[in-house]
Amino acid sequence: MNLTNSVLSKTIFIVVENQNDKDFLSSFFQSKGFTVKAFSTPQAYIDQLDDTQGCLIADISTDSMDGSSFLRQLNQIEHLSPVVFIAALGSISIVVNAIKLGAFDFIEKPFDEQTLLQKVTHAIEDFQNNIDVISRYKALTDKEKQVFACIVLGATNQQMTEKLHISTSTVEKHRASVMKKMQAETLPCLVKMLPMLSPLNIDLKPAWCDIRTAYQGA
């Protein structure tokens, strides 16, 4: 598998308790040309976080923290790197929750080297789309972010008018601006961006927006 300079420029972060697994993963990715940083606990990884771009490979469950709790903490601090979890047999329910929280993918033990490399490479390449969507969202004004929340919750223009205390014409203006800035042609396209925004820990059910809708993904 040919790796581009763009992929190899990213650091591989490894959070694995088992020393043999940690040594194998470190050696494997170093042999492919990556810079590797390895940690034994999720907290050790969190404590050293900076702006270094890369991919996080982590145990789905450790003695100190499971994958879902780990991701929630990462989302609270706007962690902007793809996460690939290592899962053992019987941990599917934890994996499903982790995917919902924004994990990119998972791989089961024992490791298949080619599959492992493919998953990590795809995570690095595809996560750039997430960064683009996050950048678009951050470019929204505060009022547009409120309208964004209402839109993905399925609110009508009338409901937004009442909840946001603005006129219908202003709602329509903000709604059009949100769709344009987010580069979403349709509501389903906008909703599909939500998992990409998980690192921002966005509250889609704020007190001011107690709208009862059919949307259950928030």
- pLDDT computed for residue 214 by the predictor: 40
Distances, alpha carbon 66 to alpha carbons 54, 71, 73, in Å: 21, 9, 11
- Quick one: 82 and 150 in the same domain? no
Q: Would 63 be classed as within a structural domain?
A: yes
pLDDT at 215: 41
pLDDT at 218: 36
Which residue among 101, 128, 155 closes a domain?
128
pLDDT recorded at residue 89: 65
Q: Are residues 67 and 147 in the same domain?
A: no
One domain for residues 109 and 203: no
The verdict on 34 and 84 lying in the same domain is: yes
Q: What confidence score (pLDDT) does residue 185 get?
A: 94
**What pLDDT is stored for residue 25 in this prediction?**
96
CATH number assigned to the domain comprising residue 22 = 3.40.50.2300
Continuous segment of H or E residues that includes residue 14: strand 11-15
**C-alpha angle 65-81-135 in degrees, rounded to nearest 5:** 130
Do 89 and 161 belong to one domain? no
Which residue from 124, 3, 110, 113 is spatially nearest to 56, judged by alpha carbons?
Answer: 124
21 and 72, same domain (yes or no)? yes
CATH code, domain carrying 164 = 1.10.10.10
- Residue 217 placed within a domain: no
Alpha carbons 137 and 162: distance in angstroms, whole number: 24
Does residue 218 lie within any of the structural domains? no
Residues 118, 86 within the same domain: yes
Pair 123, 173 in one domain: no
| Domain extent for 74 | 5-128
Question: What pLDDT score does 68 carry?
Answer: 85
Tens of each residue's pLDDT in the chain, 218 residues? 778 888 999 999 999 999 999 999 999 999 999 999 999 999 999 999 988 989 999 998 888 888 889 988 998 888 888 999 998 765 677 788 888 778 889 998 888 899 999 999 999 998 888 889 999 999 999 999 999 999 998 889 999 998 889 999 999 999 999 999 999 999 999 999 988 887 787 777 654 555 554 443 43
Q: Is 197:129 a contact under the CB 8 Å cutoff?
A: no
Clarify whether residues 52 and 117 are in a common domain.
yes
